Amino acid sequence: MAVKKTADIIPLYHTILITKCGVEFECDSEKNEVKAICTVKTDGKTGVETEALTGYQQLYLQYMTCAKQ
């Protein structure tokens, strides 16, 4: 949801039509690590780096909030 709300979160940012958004997790219990990958796709002639970073940022904040409890 954060990916689609990027224009609401970042002032003066334009809305991009998102065609696909996904999040994958890779857990390594030996290293106590969790790797999160946020993938965003669009049919438009623009990049979606900001949307992917926004999605990852919100994912990480939510993960850290849950991990503290």
pLDDT of residue 62: 87
Domain parsing of the chain, residue ranges: 6-68
| Banded model confidence at residue 64, pLDDT cuts 50, 70, 90 | confident
pTM over 0.85: no
CB contact set of 32 (below 8 Å; sequence gap of 6+) = none
Residue 54 CB neighbours (<10 A): 22
**Average pLDDT over the chain, rounded to whole?**
89
Look at residues 39, 41, 51 and name the one whose alpha carbon lies nearest to residue 15: 51
48 pLDDT exceeds 80? yes
Six-digit token string for 4? 């689609």
